[in-house]
Amino acid sequence: MPKLTFISRLRKSFIGTCSWLLITISLLIVSDIQGQTREQTVNQSQNSHATQQLRALLPARLGETWRPAGQARIWNVEQFSALPDADVYSEYGLQKIISRAYTNGKTKITVEIFDLGFISGAYGLFTFNRVFLQPNRREFYEGRYLVSISSNSDGRVIDQSLIDAVKPDLIGEVGQFPFLPSHLPEQDKIAESEKYIVGPAALAKLQVFGDLKNLAGFDGGVEATTADYRNGDGIMNLMIIEYHTPQSASDGYARIASHFNSLPQQEREKRMLKRIGNYVVEAVNIQDQVSAQNIVGQIKYEAKVYWAGRKLSDIPLEFRPPDPVALEEARRTVQVLLRSFYWIGAMLLSAILLGIIAGSSLFYWNRYRRRKLGLDNLFSDAGGSLRLNLDDYLLAPEEKSIQQIGEGNDRV
């Protein structure tokens, strides 16, 4: 009998433990589902807010004459991937596209805003596109946005006033302007011929340097810049490829040099290949070797520290570049504090001055009234206090040593 009781208790304990485990697991599952639902709701809310912000970039009116001819449309990267040159746009970091049509009653235009995520991407895509633009299209970049305006007629309708009508709503600068294009020599450079390249797809579109698309090696943040120069009776094309380590620069130079040496002698005479620090420099279509040497000789390599990582938090704090958003928030916080202390000080000073003015006014007003009534030389009890004179009502003391006030010269 005791044995059966022990087994029965053990069974009950096991059943109770299993019940508690089932309840706990159920609660965890419900909590996880609620968390996922909450996260989905937050993500949907954030996406909706981001969509509204993007739509706000193209308002319902541009300037005084342009009215919308339809709703704003938004495409993500996947939707844009089927269009021509999608691989080039992807290299520059395309995230979203918003477009909207406008009309002034005679002409219809389409405004497209490309969100590239960073200033460098917007600048790079702008420099890449400008040599391929049609007469009825104009582009400019502002912060991380590239704006393209096209019309159904010639390009004369796209004037500066229309561009200025779009610019005010473009906000938010992220990242820094690319450093490499500033190392292009200025001597004999053709204006607005610079291009900033960050991948093989864009390099392949350039006819003069397309043969290097598989040799430059754009892994690890490698970037390139090109420009056109007047040389002899023609135009020389110059490209600088920047590698971020000496080893990668050696490997890249070896690949390009192997290709350079495989070219016919006549073609090599029109080219120049040189390594400068972590730069690999190539010039093509050379007609004046002396002038080309002089231009290439002006390129100086300046070491710049790069830290591998996708997020800002991957960089140690002591090497981390200043965050423009954090700097802006700090600046606004300091402004709020300074304004608060300024107004607190102003109010304290105002209260002190008002107190002095009010007190002085009351004092001199009372003095004026007393003088007017002829009471200026009389005793003032300063506030209506009472005075009790008991000199004439003191009782005679029993001790002879104590005398009344006024009797004799001795006073106690």
What is the mean predicted confidence (pLDDT) over 186-196?
92
pLDDT score recorded for residue 358: 87
SS3 386: coil
φ/ψ of 267, rounded to 5, equals -75, -35
From the list 111, 179, 177, 176, the residue with the least C-alpha distance to 146 is: 111
Mean pLDDT taken over the chain: 77
In single-letter form, the type of residue at position 375 comes to: L
Instruction: Return the residue matching tokens 């730069």.
Output: 279
Tens digit of each residue's pLDDT (9 = 90 or more) over 384-409: 566 666 665 555 555 555 555 555 55
Please check whether residue 116 is in contact with residue 95, taking contact to mean a CB–CB distance below 8 angstroms. Answer: yes
From the list 226, 234, 233, the residue with the least C-alpha distance to 130 is: 226
Instruction: List the domain boundaries for the chain.
Output: 14-52, 67-169, 185-307
Take residue 98 and report the two structure tokens written for it: 């918003």
pLDDT score recorded for residue 55: 57
pLDDT score recorded for residue 3: 44
Distance of CA 179 to the CA centre of its chain: 18
pLDDT score recorded for residue 235: 93
Please check whether residue 210 is in contact with residue 249, taking contact to mean a CB–CB distance below 8 angstroms. Answer: no
What is the mean predicted confidence (pLDDT) over 259-269?
91
Separation of alpha carbons 316 and 308, rounded Å: 11
| Band of pLDDT at residue 412, cut at 50, 70 and 90 | very low
| Band of pLDDT at residue 306, cut at 50, 70 and 90 | low
Tens digit of each residue's pLDDT (9 = 90 or more) over 136-182: 888 888 888 888 888 877 656 677 777 777 765 565 566 678 889 99
From the list 42, 40, 66, 71, the residue with the least C-alpha distance to 54 is: 71
pTM higher than the cut 0.85: no
Tens digit of each residue's pLDDT (9 = 90 or more) over 195-242: 999 999 999 999 889 889 889 888 878 999 999 999 988 999 999 999
**Cβ contacts of 176 within 8 Å, gap of 6 or more:** 119, 120, 321
pLDDT score recorded for residue 105: 80
Tens digit of each residue's pLDDT (9 = 90 or more) over 105-125: 888 888 888 888 888 899 999
Which range is least confidently modeled, 199-213, 222-236, 250-264, 315-329? 315-329
Distance of CA 12 to the CA centre of its chain: 64
Separation of alpha carbons 208 and 237, rounded Å: 7
Q: How far is CA 29 from CA 17, 40, 42, 62, in A?
A: 18, 16, 20, 52
Q: Is the pLDDT of residue 74 over 60?
A: yes
